[in-house]
Structure 1
Amino acid sequence: MKRILAIAAVAALALSLAACAGDAGAPTPTDDGQKTIGVVALVATDALNAAVIKGVTEVAEENGWAVQVTDTNGSVEAANAAMITYSTTQKMDAIAVMAFQTTALQAGLQAAQAADIPVVSWGGELGAGIVATTSARKVGQDSIDALLEDFGEEGSILALTYHTGVLCLYRGYAFDDTVAPLTSLEVTRNEVAIPGQVEDGTRFTSAWLASNPEGSGPLAVWGSWDEPAIGAVAALQQSNRDDVWVYSINGGPQALQAVQNGTIRQVVWQDGETEGAEMMQAAIDYLDDPATWEQKTIDVPGVVVTADNIDQFLADHPDALNP
């Protein structure tokens, strides 16, 4: 009876949130019994999100699975609604959720658990119902460590943050913990929004530049992912400023091109395709033997890309500019 009530409750919540979820498509179980994974993307058009989805898809197709994607455009409500729909109406075999905090997904996770559907998480924390996740903090620590080695520990930094997405949240934690003891470093933090992350990057950087004129000391902008950093580059170009170094994480095609042309100083490239592939494999492995499965965190290190090594990086990763 409790199980029936739980399913009824989450189904009711699915109806109330359905308008936020976007079109998740028709029910996917096929007549031939093909398994399907439902992917809940933070922003499906983002280059790193797209790389993760590509990795999921490659391993899924190799194993005879189908893949369905819902783009939440950064909405936690849409993420929960999609997970509920995947669990109750569409009855997926597994769910992959991307870059949302586990604590914000309780309705979706409750639905998945009630339906005995395993969830793999990209960058989220382990929790009840999640069989595997990828590390959210590693590339953030790689980024701030490389920034300080390059920029130094004195000057002013504008940090463009985003705390709704769990990857950027933990990258922000790594940034804050590392710069906190550095009393000679002045940090300004601005929280960008999705949608509007590029525009916010431009707007916040323009305002920060007005308070930090040319010649006022070492200056840098740190983007918790590429798109706000691209917005910062636009602000610098509009202001004819070349005295500010820009740092970023993700390493999508536009950011790598900016490293090539010198408008971004350094980017930490995150291997989203490998992370997606490992997430999908974890879902498959769990379903092969759920009784002995142990929750795990998948740790894929980032690559620091600068003008000094970008040619070699692109030789090693020829698809990075054309994912």
Structure 2
Amino acid sequence: MTASQAVPRFCEIDFSPLPEDGPCGRSLLVAGAVVAGLALTACGSAAENAGSGSTPAAQSGGKKSIGLITFSGTDPSANIVVASAKEKAAALGYDVTVIDAQGQVDQANTAMQNLVQRKVSGIAVTVFPTSSLAAGLAATGPANVPVVSSGGGTAPGIAVNVDDSQGEKVTQQAIDDSKGAGDVLTLTYLGGRPCRLRLASFNETVAAKAPGLKVSRQAVTVPGQVESATNATLAWLAAHPKGSAPSFSIYACFDDPALGAVAALKQTKRDDVKVYSFNGVPPALAAVQDGTMTATLWFDQSAVGGTLVDVLDKSIKNGASGDSQQVPAPSVLVTKANYDAFATEHPDAVKAG
């Protein structure tokens, strides 16, 4: 297969847990460097084997451009990835177009098609499952425009899979805290692949290790995820009064719904419900610090954005490839017990934007 015949290329970053030294994982700085190196090696070597094909955008002369499609302008975690990617792209000399898909996969597909028409050199997409982006890929493939994804999963031609699910780590913490008995509310978003994987991991782990937990499930809407989660939590709390179960907990698939749940708990003055979440955006970390949230799994999304663009740049320069490889990235489960050590090691992570 030549570069001009190759299928469209994706690179995704895997947020699988890495070994931690001490309460906050002192090896993360080294791990982050390994992530970038592995990602670039995986894409670079495959591309070199494929040849030196280039995109129409790259051949058109002038400054090259890339498109960054964010899942939703209301999703802080995805936006951290995009902001970092935009900064890295500018440093590499690319013009950058950022498009907000507003949580709608059809808008993401349309954005990909429009970006191809604008002759961009490459595209990065956050959160949306690649299996739902067929219309967009139908445009990027023939145009030989490489695509990278953060959290979207693999598809034919993806060089690197970057996945930020890691549901088992948070689920195990929730099971340990509840001692395997009590009532749980899950707040999920079925339009995002990380949320789907986290819910699937939760279901599998609870079934295997804590069948005594009684689970209620509620999907949230995006945009409006905070308000949607607040309303769902208020209804669940009304049906689960204090003292009616051995324990109460809420498992949210990302921080915004978790913060909505925290708002409902404050409104009803309930202090008997533990809240667990993912992504570790500054408001969630602040909630962990003050004890209103029990734990959040922090990902170094800023490093992810930079790595995505590094991989995309390599793919643009060297051509697409059908090879696929999974690359891990660091995460830390932050609780009140290790918050101070975490904040000392990662001061930028706790700063409000």
TM over 0.5: yes
Moved over 4 A (4+): 28-32
1:51 matches 2:74: no
Q: Distance in 2 between matches of 1:112 and 1:241?
A: 50
Counterpart residue identity of residue 106, structure 1: A
Question: Which secondary structure does the structure 2 equivalent of 1:254 belong to?
Answer: helix
Counterpart residue identity of residue 155, structure 1: G
Question: Which secondary structure does the structure 2 equivalent of 1:171 belong to?
Answer: helix
Contact 2:228 2:257 in 1 (8 A): yes
Report the more deviating stretch, 274-283 or 31-40. 31-40
Counterpart residue identity of residue 208, structure 1: W
Contact 2:283 2:352 in 1 (8 A): no
Structure 1 spans left out of the alignment, 5+ residues: 1-27
Counterpart residue identity of residue 319, structure 1: D
Contact 1:249 1:269 in 2 (8 A): yes
1:101 matches 2:129: yes
- Pairs within 5 Å for 1:219-238: 219-238=248-267
Counterpart residue identity of residue 102, structure 2: N
- Pairs within 5 Å for 1:31-70: 33-70=62-99
Percent identical pairs in the alignment equals 38
Using a 3 Å threshold, how does the CA distance of structure 1 residues 293 and 55 change in structure 2: closer, same or farther? Answer: farther
Contact 2:161 2:327 in 1 (8 A): yes
Tell me the TM-score normalized by structure 2. 0.79
Q: 2:344 matched to which residue of 1?
A: 315
Q: Distance in 1 between matches of 2:93 and 2:179?
A: 50
Counterpart residue identity of residue 93, structure 2: G
Report the more deviating stretch, 180-189 or 112-121. 180-189
Q: 2:171 matched to which residue of 1?
A: 144
Q: 1:212 matched to which residue of 2?
A: 240
| CA deviation profile, 1:199-244 (whole Å, cap 9, x unmatched) | 1111111111112111122100111011111111111111111011
Deviation at 1:292, TM superposition (A): 6.2
Tell me the TM-score normalized by structure 1. 0.86
Q: 1:20 matched to which residue of 2?
A: none
Counterpart residue identity of residue 35, structure 1: K
| CA deviation profile, 1:20-78 (whole Å, cap 9, x unmatched) | xxxxxxxx999972222101111134221121112212321232122211001100110
Counterpart residue identity of residue 161, structure 1: T
CA root-mean-square deviation:
2.0
Contact 1:74 1:195 in 2 (8 A): yes
Deviation at 1:276, TM superposition (A): 1.4
Using a 3 Å threshold, how does the CA distance of structure 1 residues 29 and 284 change in structure 2: closer, same or farther? Answer: closer
Q: Distance in 2 between matches of 1:36 and 1:146?
A: 43
Deviation at 1:104, TM superposition (A): 0.9
Q: 1:283 matched to which residue of 2?
A: 312
Q: Distance in 2 between matches of 1:204 and 1:251?
A: 22
Q: Distance in 2 between matches of 1:60 and 1:302?
A: 24
Counterpart residue identity of residue 210, structure 1: A
1:300 matches 2:329: yes
Larger relative CO (CA 8 A, sep 6+): 1 or 2? 2
Q: 1:183 matched to which residue of 2?
A: 211
Contact 1:133 1:279 in 2 (8 A): no
Q: Distance in 1 between matches of 2:321 and 2:222?
A: 39
Counterpart residue identity of residue 144, structure 2: D
Counterpart residue identity of residue 203, structure 1: N
Using a 3 Å threshold, how does the CA distance of structure 1 residues 79 and 255 change in structure 2: closer, same or farther? Answer: same
Contact 2:144 2:320 in 1 (8 A): no
Q: Distance in 2 between matches of 1:294 and 1:273?
A: 26
Question: Which secondary structure does the structure 1 equivalent of 2:270 belong to?
Answer: coil
1:164 matches 2:191: yes
Q: 1:195 matched to which residue of 2?
A: 223
Q: 2:7 matched to which residue of 1?
A: none
Question: Which secondary structure does the structure 2 equivalent of 1:209 belong to?
Answer: helix
Deviation at 1:301, TM superposition (A): 3.1
Question: Which secondary structure does the structure 2 equivalent of 1:180 belong to?
Answer: helix
Deviation at 1:291, TM superposition (A): 6.2
1:122 matches 2:150: yes
- Pairs within 5 Å for 1:81-92: 81-88=110-117, 90-92=118-120
Q: Distance in 1 between matches of 2:229 and 2:320?
A: 47
Contact 1:136 1:166 in 2 (8 A): no
